[in-house]
Amino acid sequence: GAGVSQTPSNKVTEKGKYVELRCDPISGHTALYWYRQSLGQGPEFLIYFQGTGAADDSGLPNDRFFAVRPEGSVSTLKIQRTERGDSAVYLCASSFGQGGEGYDGYTFGSGTRLTVV
């Protein structure tokens, strides 16, 4: 697609429920990232995919968080047993390759605002 698409744009869920957040990256972008942005904070890294595999998941806060990218394109961030502290904007970004001359950084989606009540 023309840009990074994230759905839904807003999600309200009850504490303890399971949620899935979807990210559709720019076509051809091999790298995909998930970030979490809490109110008044900068985005914080969660997980990075290169192709289908999670190359770095060091930012996932605990084992309630999981993400997949089975075909190397669309990714889903899954949160089990949601807690009120999970409320944040979840941002997805994609890029073509990693670093090097001409590297353009990431293209971000508009995010999914998750509210746990």
Partner 1 sequence: AQSVTQPDIHITVSEGASLELRCNYSYGATPYLFWYVQSPGQGLQLLLKYFSGDTLVQGIKGFEAEFKRSQSSFNLRKPSVHWSDAAEYFCAVYGFIGTGTASKLTFGTGTRLQVTL
What residues contact residue 108 under an 8 Å CB cut-off, 6+ apart? 4, 91, 92, 93
Amino acid at 58: S
Distance, CA of 92 to CA of 103 (rounded, Å): 18
For partner 1, the closer CB: 14 or 63: 63
Chosen residue from 2, 27, 53, 58 binding partner 1 by CB under 8 A: 58
Please report whether residue 34 would count as binding partner 1 according to CB under 8 A.
no
If binding is defined by CB under 8 A, does position 33 make contact with partner 1? yes
Which one of the spans 14-22, 35-43, 65-73, 78-86 is the region binding partner 1 (CB under 8 A)? 35-43
**Residues in 98-117 at the binding interface with partner 1, rule: CB under 8 A:** 98-99, 101, 103-111
